[in-house]
Chain A
Amino acid sequence: MGYKLLEGIRILDLTMVFAGPIGSRILASLGAEVIKIESAMRCDVYTRANVYPENEPGEEHWNRGCFFHSLNAGKYGISLNLGSEEGKEIFRRLVKISDVVIENFSPRVMENWSLGYKDLKKIREDIIMVSLSGLGHYGPLRDFYMYVPGMEGMSGLMHMTGYPEEPPLLSGYAYGDWVLGTTGAAAMLVAIYHRQRTGKGQYIDVAGREAVISHIGEIVMDYTLNGREQTRLGNRHSSSAPHGCYRCKGHDQWVNIAVENDEQWERFCQALGYPSWTKEKRFAEASSRWRNQDELDRFIEEWTSQRDHYEVMEILQKAGVPAGAVLNMKEIHLDPQFVNRGFFEIIDHGEGVGKRPILQQIPAKFTGVEKFVPRRAPRFGQDNEYVFGTLLGMSKDDLKRLEQEKVVGGIPVFPPGRRTRADLIEKQGAGWFDPDYLVEIRKKHGDDIGKG
């Protein structure tokens, strides 16, 4: 759901892939007008061209990818070639009527185009410019080539993720990008609020790696306070037990259980009906449970592996013990709590795709403000008429000429659409496929899912 909290704020969005689009979608959901700028030579290839409905790239596959739909819902989309002089001039005209510019090029690109903060400020004194990058826009390492593994790896987070005797582990869903984009959105809002009070714009430099460091502050402080280098603990806790992820009945089904104190331990034992091992002395106190958790975990897993993970969660929650099923991507769409609160937005993504649920990028429920249903992610160049015509006052003839000169419009330069290699994924176990996914989704999200 969208909320009209930031109505009238216009954001020019030059970002691509994950981090930037996550940040700008948050702003779009909060009511800002986000204009995503791509060009025929340079568009959001990775997210546009991946994972199509029913695994069929189809016609104009660049408009059919699920990543793009999810990351860019609620935004307007135009095609404008910033490599051309006239393209830059049109961009400057847009800056004049906008509040924020957000970009995630390598450091220097915007300056080389004479579109750095100093240039933009000359066009519009109170502009807010947000630059997202891996290591920041100044400093000796600013030109490093890096992606999510650099943000998670150079921040200390990867060092803390995984098992002590195994390699540091990368998140499976580009978490570092999420932190970078969302921190960018947060900083942008600070600047918008500041400008509302003072009339002043500013430049914001967000480094993904530093944003991730902000999320492990207490771990860094064990080093600054005590000189202790913490390390990864798998799913374990530094002092309490049991605390882990346990196998359940069925293939690849898991439940998390986190007993925080002796009171919860007592309730845990009661919920299990006091099997003999729960009475063993070595499990009686938090510290001895922690020391003996290898054995403890084996006993617990014997119990959980005979039960469904939802069943384990319910038994333990009834007893007031923190436990939660580990939900896969199917279950999360069907889970009663997520469905009840409408976490997934049902958006019609257009011909051949139809209505499909996508997640909310900012799952906040506001009351006391007008709501709106976000528009689908833009087709390539979809809003050229609105932006160039309505906002900038260009005539149809102007636009035609610009199209001929390849400043706007055109057909994106794209590799051919490829199906996802389902066979390879299944063979390697990197994921699994549910042939009945449309039937399952329709049960909870409406019979018209997947119908364009």
Chain B
Amino acid sequence: MGKKAFSDLKVLDCTQGVAGPYCTKWMADFGAEVIKVERPTEGDIARRMGPFLKDEPHPEKSGTFFYLNTNKKSITLNLESETGVKIFKELVRKVDVLVEDFEPGKLSDLGLSHETLKKLNPRLVMNSITDFGQTGPYRHYEATNLTLSGLGGAMYASRPANKPTDRPVVEGGLQAEYVTGLLSFIATVAALVNQVRSDQGVRIDMSAIECVASTLGGHVAEYPYMGLSRRTSPWAIHGYPIGYSAPCKDGWISLTPGIGGAPNIPFLIGQPELQDDPLFAKPAARMAEPEKFDALILPWLQERGKWEVTKEAQELRLAFTPVLAPGELLEDEQLKAREIFVEADHPAMGKVRYPGAPAKLSETSWQKGRAPLLGEHNGEVYGQLGYTEEGLVRLKEEGVI
């Protein structure tokens, strides 16, 4: 492995929660110096989000905060104070990137508009990540992962294929947030490639509902092309084999015969005489009578485990895969071989295991690490700006840091 991709890059990170921190986590894990600015005393809201180590709510024991802030430095700074604003400007001069997620207009109210910051640092890449964007009628609306998922269109299209008019269901976890973080990272790095070449900064305006909507891909275009608004998966609509979950002895298995693979199902279930039955030969026939299909395959599945079924089916080129619970991932042979889970030591949490690199890059080191304690790097970061220890004590007394 060679150098870290972002080892010369300095990032000022004024984000909290999930989306912004996920964006800057990518930078920090690939080597950037990410200085995370937190409010004195309470810090990032993710410090109050579970899961907590041993279920003990504590600002230094949140798994969510840990996962999203690995390899970052934490400083505390009160931007509501005049001195805080002054220090912030000093920091902006020294960085390549500013990522922030304040409500639109908030930074301008503090005297830190993009115009002001651009004067201090003309090559600054500034990415503003908000729920609805800097403009538009909803820009001051309140939102959460759930409401973003609905407004972005993703929920309407997520319902069981066999109960398409049931209540829409949100994707598990915090997908609207992660999606926004990942796209924000991409936009930021594209601006940085441009910065290296042109020495020019840019301003980026990201909107979380737009990020969610961009996950809909071609599906959303079905409306302007033929007036279709889908409620469920494309497989159900276009007659391709569907990927629904069927119960087996020890959990669930995802039945996706694959294009052209279904005729092998009779061999899997030990009924080769059914190989010419339209149920297996024709997706449309299977979709028209799913109960008939189920009646043949479910009893067979009931007697077998998900891995047993998967391995037999894969031999027959059937794309059946097990539905795994998060804890089962830790024991998975493929993930073990690829060393997906990593471990880091944390002063308050001890040894912590968490999912590592999202992609394997051969030349650029991805680094594991831990999340910072609140204000852990005040001495180091403010020291570099020339503040003495006494100066820092005074700033602390004044509530600035």
Contact = CB atoms under 8 A, between A and B. Distances in A.
Nearest to A163: B169
Contacts of B143: 322, 324
Interface in B241-288: 243-247, 252, 254, 256, 258, 261, 287
Nearest to A176: B243
A47 B240 CA distance: 13
A225 B54 contact: yes
A81 interface: no
A193 B191 CA distance: 10
Contact of A340 (B136, B183, B224, B317): B136
A163 to B, nearest CB: 7
Given A194-B363, A224-B354, A225-B51, 8 more contacts: A51-B222, A69-B218, A136-B360, A161-B171, A172-B157, A187-B358, A202-B362, A366-B204
Interface string A179-212: 1001111110111111011101111111100110
Contacts of B170: 161, 235, 245, 256
Contacts of A227: 327
Contacts of A147: 243, 256, 258, 319
7 contacts: A158-B172, A160-B326, A173-B158, A219-B172, A234-B169, A430-B161, A449-B224
Contacts of A329: 153, 156-157, 216, 219-220, 222-223, 228-230
Contacts of A414: none
A218 B67 contact: yes
A159 B222 contact: no
Contacts of A191: 5, 361, 363-364
Interface string A326-366: 11111011011110110100000000000011111111111
Contacts of A192: 189, 193
A189 B142 contact: no
B68 interface: yes
A115 to B, nearest CB: 17
Given A144-B321, A149-B243, A323-B147, A18 B227 contact: no
B302 interface: no
B167 A337 contact: no
Interface in B319-357: 319, 321-330, 332-335, 337-338, 340-341, 349, 352-355
Contacts of A336: 136-138
Contact of B337 (A138, A201, A237, A362): A138
Contacts of A66: 218, 221-222, 224-226
Interface stretch (B79-87, B231-239, B385-393): B231-239
A339 to B, nearest CB: 9
A367 B200 CA distance: 11
Contact of A169 (B158, B203, B220, B358): B158
B363 A430 contact: no
A204 B334 contact: no
Contacts, number: 588
Contact of A258 (B146, B159, B173, B187): B146
Interface stretch (A394-402, A403-411, A431-439): A431-439
- Closest 4 pairs (CB-CB, A-B): A160-B172, A149-B243, A67-B218, A324-B147
Given A156-B326, A218-B63, A363-B206, A70 B231 contact: no
Contacts of B155: 245, 254, 256, 326
B358 A211 contact: yes
Contacts of A214: 178, 355, 358
B220 A220 contact: no
B223 A434 contact: yes
A4 B151 CA distance: 30
Contacts of B340: 210, 213
B98 interface: no
A217 interface: yes
A162 B148 CA distance: 18
A144 B174 CA distance: 28
Given A54-B226, A204-B359, A430-B236, A168 B245 contact: yes
Contacts of B30: 190
A201 B332 CA distance: 31
Majority DSSP secondary structure for residues of A touching B: mixed
B104 interface: no
B384 interface: no
B6 interface: yes
Contact of B142 (A321, A359, A441): A321
A30 interface: yes
B359 A206 contact: yes
Contacts of A175: 154, 171, 175, 215
Nearest to B223: A329
Contact of A159 (B206, B209, B323): B323
A325 B149 CA distance: 10
A156 to B, nearest CB: 4
B361 A190 contact: yes
Contact of A51 (B160, B226, B254): B226
Given A202-B364, A226-B55, A153 B319 contact: no
A139 B333 CA distance: 8
A324 B150 contact: yes
B145 to A, nearest CB: 8
A171 B51 CA distance: 25
A87 interface: no
Contacts of A150: 254, 256, 319, 321
Contacts of A170: 233, 243-245, 254
Contacts of A254: 150, 155-156, 167-168
A247 interface: yes
A183 B193 contact: no
Contacts of A435: 227
Contacts of A197: 3, 5, 8, 196
B217 A67 contact: yes
Contacts of A154: 321-324, 332
A167 B191 contact: no
Contact of B203 (A226, A340, A367): A367
Interface in A116-149: 117, 135-136, 138-142, 144-149
A187 B214 contact: no
Contact of B133 (A54, A173, A341, A436): A341
A311 B131 CA distance: 20
A425 interface: yes
Nearest to B149: A256
Interface string B62-74: 0110111000000
A388 interface: no
Contacts of B132: 337
A204 B5 CA distance: 13
Contact of A363 (B165, B213, B224, B323): B213
Contacts of B239: 421, 424
Nearest to A160: B172
B207 interface: yes
Contacts of A71: 217-218
A229 B225 contact: no
